[in-house]
Amino acid sequence: MTAADVLQTIEEHAVEVVDLRFMDFPGLWQHFTVPADSLDEDSFEEGFGIDASSMRGWQSITESDMLVFPDPETAVLDPFSETTTLIMTCNIADPLTRENYARDPRYTAKKAENYLQTTGIGDVSFFGPEAEFFVFDDIRYDSTSNAGYYFIDSEEGRWNTGRCEDPNLGYKIRHKEGYFPVPPTDSMQELRNEMMRIMRRCGLEVECHHHEVATGGQAEIDLKYDSLLRIADQLMLYKYIVKNVARRHNKTATFMPKPLFGDNGSGMHVHFSIWNEGKPVFAGNKQAGLSEEALYAIGGILAHAPALVAITSPTTNSYKRLVPGYEAPVNLAYSTMNRSVAIRIPTYSDEPAAKRLEFRCPDPSCNPYFAFAAIQMAALDGIKNKISPGPAVDKNLYELPPQELARIPCTPRSLGEALTALERDHEFLLQGDVFTQDVIDTWIEWKRENEVEPVQLRPHPYEFALYFDL
């Protein structure tokens, strides 16, 4: 869609307002709204001014002016607003130089796409994220100087088998048994159907949806793969639709990786492949039909994984999910079909076009523009430097003897450890100026000051159970 197409859409659908959206540094959609009749073709060239000092991780108050440029290719009618609204995702630029703003995550994704084309390895990378989430009926939390707690509730949560519901009809999902039961046990079927219908209406290609493993309303809706920038844009629209459909039904959706103790967390397994001139670079005659380039890509991702997860699993809560011995894939190894490793080679099809990698460590709290760009950069580094992934591991790593498991490296145990790994290992991200040193430094500093240290300073509720009687 061009700027002229956007203006025609506004006229055809009697659009009243245009909602301009962009990604802040950590990874939340931001927006402001303008009257539709104030938009013309010059708006796409001249942009709109914003105060970038009010955005997390962006400019200081002394350098706060930035321009927002709507991307007409992202235009979509808002399915929720009572006022007829057109949404567009935007790029950020310096008002003096008109150069793209280096801390704009969308610009990093664009540079990653451009860099791939300069390598000669491929001309497009495809990503298929499988974002999991929870839909709850109630959430309360607080953290003050003398109190700290959270309380979550769900009508299908196993903890409610004995609750008086006038009547309680049962069908509460057992812990770790939420994968694929039919209704009435799966109470979210129609809610997910509505999410899927709206996604399709907004142009997202949905492959399937289902209840996920955990009790308490865990779900997954899978999007068809697309190119790096497009799928990151789509994932933001996906989250917006999930949250607003849940709210429409007086429920709340969260992409927090580990909201429940004792049950599975929400991951975002990322399927990844590289193509060149319409041909799959990852198809070949090596293990599971992969090419040598694909194996080197695996080697690159595994080699850089301790640093990579600081971007793909970027919250302190992410490391409540990435815990050795539990459901999340923390073991830095690869295999076919085996879901206990960090990288799985899917084997559903022998078709060359289906050859891809599945990186299983990421979770949906990530900034997808940064996360997908970083995954691609690690894979390219592996291909360029011919980093061997070693032999595949075809055993269930959760059942290995301790002495054998100790020989397999694993992901960092905390966000702080991951950020330290990123400090030590980020040259692969700087290639082609895809990530800048400023972006890396700002990411590490922001995460430590705003997430790691505040969590470390606060007493944990379970510490009272452990220590109050000392």
> Cα–Cα distance between 259 and 339 in angstroms, integer?
22
Residue in this structure with the two tokens 């006038």, named with its chain if needed: 166
As beta bridge partners, residue 252 has: 136
Q: HEC profile for 72-138?
A: HHHCEECCCCCCCEEEEEEEEECCCCCCECCCCHHHHHHHHHHHHHHHCCCCEEEEEEEEEEEEECE
> Cα–Cα distance between 459 and 455 in angstroms, integer?
8
Query: Per the structure block, which two tokens stand in for 396?
Result: 């269930």
Q: How many CB atoms lie within 10 A of CB 441?
A: 12
Q: Which positions are annotated as active-site residues?
A: 51, 130, 132, 212, 220, 269, 339, 358, 360
The reply to whether omega before 35 is within 30° of 0 (cis) is no
Helix (H, G, I), strand (E, B) or coil at 271: strand
First to last CA, the chain: 66
Distance of alpha carbon 95 from its chain centroid, rounded?
A: 30
Q: At what angle do helices 228-248 and 189-201 cross, to 10 degrees?
A: 130
Q: To 5 degrees, how large is the angle CA 282–CA 284–CA 288?
A: 90
